[in-house]
Amino acid sequence: MNPAQFSSIENKLNMVIKLLAIQAIGDKEYRQQVTLLDSMGLQPKEIADLTGKSVNNVNVTLHLIRKAKKKGGKKDE
């Protein structure tokens, strides 16, 4: 496979991933969208592109989600 073919396949796979992610987050609230996309392994820039928010906004939201999770975990212990 030559580099042009590989690049074409990579671009198509990225588009499929993006479309599936958009479908998965469709009717969810923003925080739920970020949580889901993060759990799917997407980077903050990719999450920002899909949600229409800034990368900084996504990073802050991820921080707050992780902070709440950590705080919640301590309560259960």
Report pLDDT for 73. 65
Contacts of 9 (CB under 8 A, 6+ apart): 1
Q: What is the CA radius of gyration of the chain?
A: 16
Domain that holds residue 53: 3-76
Model confidence at 75, pLDDT cuts 50, 70, 90, reads: very low
Q: What is the torsion angle, in degrees rounded to the nearest 10, for the CA atoms of residue 72, residue 66, residue 61 and residue 25?
A: -90
With a pLDDT cut of 90, the percent of the chain lying above it is 68
Give the total number of structural domains in the chain.
1
In tens, the pLDDT along 8-40 reads 999 999 889 888 888 989 899 999 999 999 998
The answer to whether 17 and 24 are in contact (CB under 8 A) is no
